[in-house]
Structure 1
Amino acid sequence: MSSSEDHPAKKQKLDVESKVIGTHNGTFHCDEALAVFLLKKTNAYATADLKRTRDPAILDTCSIVVDVGGVYDESKQRFDHHQRGFTEVFGYGFKTKLSSAGLVYKHFGKDIIAGRLQLLLDDAKVDTLWLKMYKEFVEAIDGIDNGISQYPTDIEPVYRGRTDVSSRVGHLNPAWNEPFDAKTLDSKFLQASSLVGEEFMNRLDYYANSWLPARDLVSTALTKRTEVDPSGRIVLFEQFAPWKEHLFELEPLLSITESSQPLYILYPDEAANNWRIQAVPASPSSFESRKALPEAWRGVRDDELSKLSGVEGCIFVHASGFIGGNKTREGALKMARLALAI
């Protein structure tokens, strides 16, 4: 990395072998720390040097510039968001104004994801993960850097949280009364870029290797639900997977109407070697169910519940009716079918 220099520099032509990423020097923030990390994960800028400066003459020599320069122009590889009149958002329903992190991610994110996972750029998984990573990781960095409140400003939080990745990056800057020089700041910036970048990659790996396979399982189970019960109201998983978020996102994509929405989910509880029946909530964060298990079953257990329901192998039904258990798959399915009819 080139150290920060603000003295005049002669403009030079850069060939493909000597690309340079430019960003501002001085105090650093999470957005350009992530932007630089992401650029280094692209084929175009993987071997690029880094210059941290605000000198326009030096920035002019850079192949790409982020978070400084007052210009957003993809054709010129300039990605700043501080200029008057800048209103760029990610799109796809997202309304948070982009920072340099969001700008770089919007234009280079799909390439980075495809490269990381060894997928073709037009693979549907790339699009799904690109949107997911923006929602779950990048958007918050955009919002914080642009000073956009996460909640209405008239709500006073009951406690302070300073452990988000933007705060942790900010804390890597030297304190106001701590001696430092340009070399120290450049070193700290690289540390910050690595911190937020590694967290980004860890999150991407999770969504690619855990979240996405769960989504596939839920999608398959939803398309086969009429094989479980002709009503389509019961979904069965042969293995447990996190399902709530996926179910609510996939229902409209699969054109599942309200009248045929699943009411009960069946899955094995491998730790207890039995089966669970769970009522689908009214919304992803709701404690209310679309159709709770029968009121007469709630809070009843074991043989008493089996006698009451007429289903062998019953274990329990929670007092709120949102979940129950049976010793076998067949028993759980019988409970679900009976619950539909009550």
Structure 2
Amino acid sequence: MSTSETTEHPAKRQKMEKVIGTHNGTFHCDEALAVYLLRLTQEYAGADLKRTRDPAVLDTCTIVVDVGGVYDEAKQRFDHHQRGFTEIFGHGFNTKLSSAGLVYKHFGKEIIANLLKTTVDDPRIEVLWLKLYREFIEAIDAIDNGINQYPTDVPPKYRIRTDVSARVGHLNPAWNQKADAQTVDSLFLKASALVGGEFTDRLQYYADAWLPARDIVAAGLNARKNADSTGKIILFEAYAPWKEHLFELEADLAVAEAEKPIYVIYPDETGGQWRVQAVPVAPESFESRKALPEAWRGLRDDELSKASGVDGCVFIHASGFIGGNKTKEGALKLAKLALEL
């Protein structure tokens, strides 16, 4: 071993290593997730963790999250508590970021690419990056920053305290429970694994199930004039959840109101029958853009086939939002007739 190595100052040696710094004491969901996410990057994989509020110790850390009063990407400092901090995710999101959102904004695409074993230029990455912020990260940012989900002039009918931020908070020692720093640090790692595991599980679902469904809906939307020259009917050859994707894709593609589809045809989940469903006016709405004809509603089997003139009918719901036929051709005939009535 060389003389320089044996006499190297410990603080200097620590700076050469990758060390993540965050505050000690009571922990929250945002920094628990931020630390987990950083360890999914190439740069901070396997990095040590220092939980402290001592500025001298934080100065030796490679990156610091949720403490220190500085947001500076170049310096790898990601706090959000300082006066004047207003950073948001952008892309239509206006919620003030917490340390989780800051880390995700700067490292999220790399993290997703690493977990999916692909590269950041994979076209899926951008879609998943935005989707995970909307569905997972934004709520953590809002809760940590004290942003109410709804106006507070009307009291809620019930409380939700089973969200991931609440579950992380419950892992802290109780106010009257004695716990040394080592115990709290151990509980922090448990909290980090909890929220990080949920993040990776959610990503896997969106990559393996949600995104393939989006691809099916996009293909059907783009090819809808093959099903019917009006473009008012979408035909899916395979079953997939379609409502959320359809509305998002219509917005992304700026589909004009007059050109939006009215009915969707798809095989049911068992594959034994085909469905014709009216597109709702909004993803969560029970009101349809054009419900199936009133004269068919509530009818079944031969009675419905006789009323519609289409063989193989199974049912039309009493509200007219959905119906069924034994064949794809029969379901398509029902939809085409419904457009004219």
Change beyond 3 A, Cα 1:15–1:58: closer
In structure 1, the residue matched to 2:279 is 280
Q: Which residue of 1 aligns with 2:178?
A: 179
What is the deviation of 1:234?
A: 0.5
Aligned to 1:243: 242
Task: Tell me what 1:267 maps to.
Answer: 266
CA contact (8 A) 1:278 1:322 kept: yes
* C-alpha distance after superposition, 1:190-231 (max 9, x if no partner): 000000000000000000010000000000111111111101
Question: Conserved in 1, the CA contact under 8 Å of 2:15 and 2:62?
Answer: no
Is the CA contact (8 Å cut-off) linking 2:267 and 2:273 kept in structure 1? yes
Alignment of 1:174-213 (within 5 A): 174-213=173-212
Query: Hey, what's the Cα distance between the residues in 2 that align with 1:208 and 1:189?
Result: 28
TM-score by length of structure 2 reads 0.96
Instruction: Note the C-alpha offset of 1:260.
Output: 1.3
SS in 2 for 1:58: helix
Q: Matches of 1:49 and 1:63 in 2, distance apart?
A: 10
Of all paired residues, the percent bearing the same amino acid is 70
Moved over 4 A (4+): 13-16
TM-score computed with the length of structure 1 as normaliser? 0.95
Indicate how the Cα distance of structure 1 residues 10 and 58 shifts in structure 2: closer, same or farther if over 3 A, else same: farther
Flag the 1:70–1:323 CA change in 2: closer, same or farther, 3 A.
same
CA distance, structure 2, for counterparts of residue 272 and residue 227 of structure 1: 22
Name the aligned partner's letter for residue 139 of structure 1.
E
CA distance in 2, matches of 1:155, 1:161: 16
Counterpart Cα distance in 2 of 1:137 and 1:123: 21
Note the 1:10-21 alignment, pairs <5 A: 11-14=11-14, 18-21=17-20
Comparing 191-200 with 266-275, which one deviates more in the overlay? 266-275
Q: Which runs of 5+ in 1 are unaligned?
A: 1-8
In the TM superposition, 1:64-75 aligns within 5 A as: 64-75=63-74
Aligned partner letter, 1:290: R
> Separation in 2 of the partners of 1:102 and 1:180?
29
Contact map agreement 1:266 1:277 (CA 8 A) in 2:
yes
Contact 1:13 1:61 in 2 (8 A): no
Is the CA contact 2:264–2:279 (under 8 Å) kept in the aligned structure 1? yes
Shift of 1:12: 2.4
The answer as to whether partners of 2:15 and 2:61 remain within 8 angstroms in 1 is: no
Determine the C-alpha separation between the residues in 2 that align with 1:270 and 1:159.
34
Give the drift of 1:239: 1.0
How far does the alpha carbon of each residue in 1:69-112 deviate from its partner, in whole angstroms, 9 at most, with x for none? 00000000000000000000000110100000000000000000
Decide whether aligned partners of structure 1 residues 231 and 90 sit closer, same or farther in structure 2, where only a CA change above 3 A counts.
same
Question: Given the superposition, is the C-alpha separation of residues 299 and 194 from structure 1 closer, same or farther in structure 2, using an over 3 Å criterion?
Answer: same
Aligned with 1:12: secondary structure? helix
Output the CA distance in 2 between the equivalents of 1:154 and 1:91.
Answer: 28
Deviation at 1:60, TM superposition (A): 0.2
Report what 2:4 is aligned to.
none
1:156 equivalent to 2:155? Answer yes
Cross-structure match for 2:36: 37
Task: State the Cα distance separating 1:170 from its structure 2 match.
Answer: 0.2
